[in-house]
Amino acid sequence: MNKIKCDCGHVNPEGTVLCEACGKPIEENQHIDGNDKRTLLNMRYDGSARRSQTYNKSIVDKIWSFFSSVKVGVWLIVIALLASAIGTIFPQEMYIPANAVSRDPAVYYEDTYGIFGQIYYQLGFHNLYSSWWYMILIALIGISLVICSIDRFVPLYKALKRQKAKRHETFLNRQRLYSETENVTAEEKDKIVHALKKQRYNVRNENGHILAEKGRFSRWGPYVNHIGLIVILIAAILRMTPFMYLDDYVWVREGERTVIPSTDGEYYIENKDFILETYDKNNDRFKEAIEQEGMVAKNFQTNAIIYKEIAPSVAGAEPELKKIAEEKIKMNHPLKFDGYTLYQAGYQLNEFTSMTFKVHETDDPDEKALGTFTIDLNAPKPEYKLDNGFRVVVDQYYPDYSLENGEPRSESKYPKNPAFVFFVYPPNSEQAEVSFVGIGRNIDATGENQYKLGVQDFELRDVSGLTVRKDYTLPFFIVGAIIFMLGVIQGMYWQHRRIWIHPKGNGLLVAAHTNKNWYGVKKDIEKVISGTNVEMVKDQQELDE
């Protein structure tokens, strides 16, 4: 390495722009920070030697320089910004509404938004945030962040550590805040030093050369916050692994107990009751709003019991379970147990559990029951024998009946809209009558049936939908967020201020620098020099176009 020795005797690393000790501009490196074209010095990293600005030969140097450029970083951020915004033009695939024409994205976007929707879909923007290029973009920001920080942190740290109170004159008169005073007495100087200390500046005095400094630690703020961001990005990567993150969903019917998925059969949930409450429309407070907007839900709640399997179930036998929690799971009040969290996420009201049918004579106006039978809709039997000799055979069962192109079918396997095709055998007869029965329908296939079936009674129950989560990455996100916040606060709410006082002849040079809040330093200086003959510093800033 070609070290550079400054007139003051300090040996600087190659690429240094301003001597680390005395700040004198190092002639041949002035182009690096653009000082050659300006009167003021660029103080960004105190003119320290940064790898990215120093070496530019090998491919590694070039990549390093590329990623450590703030310009590149800003471009990456701006591109990520635009990409993110584009993703909100139309809903993302997961937000296609449940009542859409079709939830198939290939149909939905074109059908709903026309040609633009189709283009949007074909470009893959309907899944933008999980697309490979979006993730690469975010990863590039991460890489840039790391390289950028390393590139600057070490040199800046060294430069601030090695700085001397005595600075070269050119360094001082090329600061933004600067003044020269011809005659200053020793008392006045003492007064200034005293005032600086009173303002809680750290004052260093080297042979009458004074450096008053405060808030240096705020310079590390950006590096701290970048570390926080990196922790968050790592957490996001961890979250893509199944060990750290689990996401499942369980539907559980009232009165039923079912195994919680993704727990290796270890945990069971029982739904004692699902509760949906709405606001009372006579409520004084909300009367008007409810009149305008209609019913508003107040509470979704599942009263649940969680069981843990204590002995592994032997094939065929019921597992041996122990109750470990009984809770009301509500929105905003998830249930936690053994690292899992259950969230109230969905519900289905009024699913049928059982239906009771009666048989009566077709032409009986009173529809007097000749016999009844009850079907458990979750386990219909193939055949029901009635007390009075009737026999009913279940030919077809549609738990969730619908008619598609004239064909009856079941939309789902859940008894939301049950319908049956029955063969009814009257007592002592081998001749069956065919009957189709559903909610509000009763169709006699031939029109000649002597007996008719009617729904006499039914039982309903609700179904709760719960998200099952296990997320070991949360602590990482939390730690990352805390580090980030501490970093930004450190960097934003404190400022690094330095004031140099340089004896010259009978007088003084005063110069000052801060990384932000120039108004604040100026006020500090005003206070410090008040009652002395020292000239107020002039702001030499060239407001850029």
Partner 1 sequence: MDNLISVSSTMLYTAFILYLIATCFFGATIKEKKDKGKKGIAGKIAITLTIIGFLAQIVYFITRWIASGHAPVSNLFEFMTFFGMGLVFAFIIIYFIYRLSVLGLFALPIALIVIAYASMFPTEISPLVPSLQSHWLYIHVTTVSLGEAILSISFVAGLIYLIRQIDQSVKSKRTTWLEVILFSLFIFIGFSVISATFNIADYHAQFEYEERGSTLTTDYQLPAIAGPNDGKLLTENAMEPLFEVPSWMHGANAPRKFNTLIWSILAGFVLYVLARLLFRKRIGAAIQPLLLKVKPDLLDEVSYRAVAIGFPVFTLGGLIFASIWAQIAWDRFWGWDPKEVWALVTWFFYAAFLHLRLSRGWHGEKSAWLAAGGFAIIMFNLIAVNLILAGLHSYA
Residues near ligand HEM, by CB under 6 A = 70, 72-73, 76-77, 141, 144-145, 148, 152, 156, 219, 222, 225-226, 229, 488, 491
Which partner, partner 1, ligand HEM, none, binds residue 145 by CB below 5 to 8 Å per kind?
ligand HEM
CA distance 242 to 361: 61
Which partner, partner 1, ligand HEM, none, binds residue 243 by CB below 5 to 8 Å per kind?
none
Is 538 in contact with 40 (CB distance < 8 Å)? no
Residue for token pair 């001082």: 172
Q: 370 to 389, contacts with partner 1 by CB under 8 A? A: none
Reading the block at residue 100, the tokens are 């859409």
Q: Provide the minimum distance between the beta carbon of 14 and partner 1 in the complex, in angstroms, as a whole number.
A: 23
Q: 410 to 429, contacts with partner 1 by CB under 8 A? A: none
Residue 228 β-bridge partners = none
Which partner, partner 1, ligand HEM, none, binds residue 144 by CB below 5 to 8 Å per kind?
ligand HEM
Assess 489 for contact with partner 1 (CB under 8 A).
yes
Q: Per-residue contact track with partner 1, 247 to 286, x per CB under 8 A?
A: --------------------------------x---xxxx
Q: 338 to 377, contacts with partner 1 by CB under 8 A? A: 341, 343, 345
Q: Is the CB of 153 or the CB of 397 nearer to ligand HEM? A: 153
Closest CA relative to residue 454, chosen from 365, 530, 349: 365
Q: Which of 136, 240, 289, 310 binds partner 1 (CB under 8 A)?
A: 289
Reading the block at residue 225, the tokens are 């916050």
Q: Per-residue contact track with partner 1, 123 to 152, x per CB under 8 A?
A: ------x-----------------------
Reading the block at residue 481, the tokens are 């967020």
Q: Which of the ranges 50-58, 413-421, 425-433, 486-494 carries the binding residues for partner 1, by CB under 8 A?
A: 486-494
Which partner, partner 1, ligand HEM, none, binds residue 152 by CB below 5 to 8 Å per kind?
ligand HEM
Spell out the alpha helix ranges (H) of 87-214.
Answer: 105-122, 132-162, 169-173, 186-198
b/e burial code for range 34-43 (CB count within 10 A of at least 16 → b): ebeeeeebbb
Q: Provide the minimum distance between the beta carbon of 257 and partner 1 in the complex, in angstroms, as a whole number.
A: 22
Q: Provide the minimum distance between the beta carbon of 524 and partner 1 in the complex, in angstroms, as a whole number.
A: 14
The dihedral over CA atoms of 308, 313, 316, 321, expressed in degrees to the nearest 10, equals -30
Q: Is the CB of 101 or the CB of 311 nearer to partner 1? A: 101
Q: Provide the minimum distance between the beta carbon of 393 and partner 1 in the complex, in angstroms, as a whole number.
A: 38
Assess 493 for contact with partner 1 (CB under 8 A).
yes
Assess 404 for contact with partner 1 (CB under 8 A).
no
Is 269 in contact with 468 (CB distance < 8 Å)? no
Q: Is the CB of 82 or the CB of 296 nearer to ligand HEM? A: 82
Q: 212 to 251, contacts with partner 1 by CB under 8 A? A: none
E-assigned strand segments in 263-339: 267-278, 297-311, 320-330, 335-337
Instruction: Count the neighbouring beta carbons within 10 Å of the beta carbon of residue 263.
Output: 20
Q: Provide the minimum distance between the beta carbon of 129 and partner 1 in the complex, in angstroms, as a whole number.
A: 5
Spell out the alpha helix ranges (H) of 453-508.
Answer: 474-492
Residue 187 DSSP symbol: H
Q: Provide the minimum distance between the beta carbon of 485 and ligand HEM in the complex, in angstroms, as a whole number.
A: 11
CA distance 227 to 208: 40
Reading the block at residue 103, the tokens are 């939830």
DSSP 400-418: BEEEETTEEEESSSS-SB-
User: According to the 3-state scheme, what is the secondary structure of 56-83?
Assistant: CCCHHHHHHHHHCCHHHHHHHHHHHHHH
Q: Provide the minimum distance between the beta carbon of 37 and ligand HEM in the complex, in angstroms, as a whole number.
A: 22
b/e burial code for range 323-340 (CB count within 10 A of at least 16 → b): eebebebbeeebbeeeeb
State how far the alpha carbon of 261 is from the alpha carbons of 31, 257, 466, 470, in Å: 64, 12, 11, 12
Which partner, ligand HEM, partner 1, none, binds residue 455 by CB below 5 to 8 Å per kind?
none
Which residues here bind partner 1, judged by CB under 8 A? Answer: 34, 42, 44, 70-71, 73-74, 77-78, 80-81, 84-85, 87-88, 91-92, 94-95, 99-101, 112-114, 129, 279, 283-286, 288-290, 292-293, 296-300, 330-332, 334, 341, 343, 345, 467, 469, 474, 477, 481, 484-485, 488-489, 492-493, 516-519, 539, 541, 543-545
